[in-house]
Structure 1
Amino acid sequence: MQHESQLQASDKHANLCHTARTLEENRAELALIWDGVRQAASEISEEESHLHHLLEDVILSRESLTESLAARLARRLSREDMLRAELEPLLFGILDTNEQLVQSAAWDLQAIYERDPACQSALEPLLFYKGFLAITAYRVSHQLWLDGRKALALYFQSVVSEIFGVDIHPGATIGCGILLDHATSVVVGETAIIHDNVSILHEVTLGGTGNEVGNRHPIVCSGVLIGAGSKILGRVTIGECAKIGAGSVVLEDVPAHKTVAGVPAIIVGESCEENPAMDMNQRLSDE
């Protein structure tokens, strides 16, 4: 109880996700994304008979992205501890009650499709990309955390870590339009904050620096690109549209639109692009 009492959550209510659109606009865009997913699933089902059962179960027999997400996560996360027959209704109930979770997942799908040249449709992350599935499961566990169901939230964190190799604490605050590219060994600590439209590659850690309590994990602002293997430690702020070079260890704040690299990381120049998260350019400079 003492540990919880020292958590300072004043900056954990960042203005994240969907604020630039009306509810009607959000729902209209969600419908377009879902229609695209269903169309791609229908085409693949006709072309590849071995995937027909999966596509029928997860997408073609479903009326909404909400149902589809619940079915896909249940297929991947069910085990002896919690069978699919119990897990899928639980997931659906959480997603259906909290519409913003499904909208966030839809924007994540769109972000992956737009930023990853290997991705040919928004269907592919839903079926195959563990980064998308891991962050969607995090969104469910985060809602459970907010609802006071912390034991169940930690259960989901544990299962996702085992299955996908991605460890995101349910207390972390994460916006939408997030790309976890490859995602293996990504770690996000309890008090971390990730704003909208951030791209994070594999083996990235947003961690603490020891056994301190309170707000002890990084804040990552919108438009940031974090290169593979980077470690960002402590309550540092990564400014808007900054870039973290692969393999860097960041221990201090990074100003907006700056590129840092090295161990420990130092500023090596301006970000080469207006929005590094969108461009996914790993260069440290224009030279």
Structure 2
Amino acid sequence: MSENSSSNPNNLCKSAHVSIDEVWDLLRERAQMVADREPQLCSLVFDTVLNRDNLGEALAARMSRKLSREDMSREELEPLLGEVFDSQEKIVNSAASDMMAIFDRDAACDSPLEPFLFFKGFMAMVTYRVAHHFWKVNRKSLALYFQSICSEVFSVDIHPAAQIGCGIMLDHGTSVVIGETAIVEDNVSLMHEVTLGGTGKTSGNRHPIVRTGVMVGAGSKILGRVEIGCCAKVGAGSVVLNDVPAHVTVAGVPARVRGKANNPAIDMNQRFECGQI
């Protein structure tokens, strides 16, 4: 069976571009402000940002603090993550893109430092990206270990074989589930309790394709190898069982077309937009 049931090529990390150096400068600037204002957070910001030389080192420090446990201590985990981030610039760039996507779209986010330090949706995406790397190089047991820890720590369960682009916002993150053969393109926003689930088939492409610019509302379930078209919007609490055209809003159980949509993942507009489709 082909990788993609659609004739359209996948747009993964092609339309979301940021400067790692600029993001790193923003992080350091805001981290210094936090250190000056909040002495109780000095240890955290110095360890994860101000004492680091680049974004890859910072990510290794932050994630090792969050993911370490008896199974794998920080002393084991940080060098492992550091090696991944040092050798895989694409992962660091993807993390920077995700960070800026949250900063740009989330009205509750005042700087890129906030998702880096505090937002579990962002940290879950970084963990997925590490797991995906290990899956691709056939270290599948280690990949599944990171998936398990991500589910336990962040309440986000993303199979390491899933294909996910850049500029991804998992808002809150809690109870997001993304299955093994799912494809999520660039600049997508997923609210909490979203499921990109399978149909129960034992093999083959059985999870959704979510195209660039899509927003999926809280609690929505998209099931099977359906395609959510570019810049479509899925209303909160919907159950999607069939393909969704580009630039429309769907809602309901089962989901039906309710109106148009423009650029919902970026605008984060939850309302239905009436008008001719």
> Could you list the runs of 5+ residues in structure 2 that have no partner in the other structure?
none
CA–CA distance in structure 1, aligned partners of residues 23 and 126 of structure 2: 16
> Which residue of the partner structure matches residue 17 of structure 1?
13
In 1, Cα distance between equivalents of 2:160 and 2:209: 16
Counterpart amino acid of 1:58? T
The answer to whether structure 1 residue 278 and structure 2 residue 274 are counterparts is no
| TM-superposed deviation, 1:11 | 6.8
Q: Summarize the Cα distance change of 1:281–1:40 in structure 2 as closer, same or farther, 3 Å threshold.
A: same
Alignment partner for residue 75 of structure 2, among 85, 95, 102? 85
CA separation in 2, counterparts of 1:285 and 1:47? 43
> Which of 230, 233, 246 is the matching residue for 1:256?
246
| Aligned mates of 1:10, 1:226 — CA distance in 2 | 20
Does the residue aligned with 1:59 lie in a helix, a strand or coil?
Answer: helix
Residue matched to 1:169? 159
List aligned pairs for 1:1-287, cutoff 5 A. 8-9=2-3, 14-18=10-14, 29-271=19-261, 274-286=262-274
Aligned to 1:269, what secondary structure does the other structure show?
strand
Task: State the Cα distance separating 1:30 from its structure 2 match.
Answer: 0.9
Measured against aligned partners, the alpha-carbon deviations of 1:210-263 in whole angstroms (never above 9, x if no partner) come to 133100000000010100000000000000000000000000000000100000
**Partner letter of residue 17 of structure 1?**
C
AA in 2 matched with 1:236: V
Shift of residue 14, structure 1, vs aligned partner: 2.7
Secondary structure of 2:222's counterpart equals: strand
Deviation track 1:74-110 (CA, whole Å, cap 9, x = no partner) reads 0000000000000000011011111000000000010
Distance 1:155 1:210 in 2: 23
Alpha-carbon distance in structure 2 between the residues aligned to 1:45 and 1:147: 39
- Alignment-mate amino acid for residue 105 of structure 2: R
Q: Describe the SS at the equivalent of 1:281.
A: coil
Q: State the SS of the aligned residue for 1:67.
A: helix
- Please, what is the CA RMSD of the aligned residues? 1.6
Q: Indicate how the Cα distance of structure 1 residues 56 and 138 shifts in structure 2: closer, same or farther if over 3 A, else same.
A: same
Identity %: 59
Task: Report the secondary structure of 1:187's partner residue.
Answer: strand
TM-score norm. by structure 1 comes to 0.92
Q: TM-score, normalised by structure 2?
A: 0.95
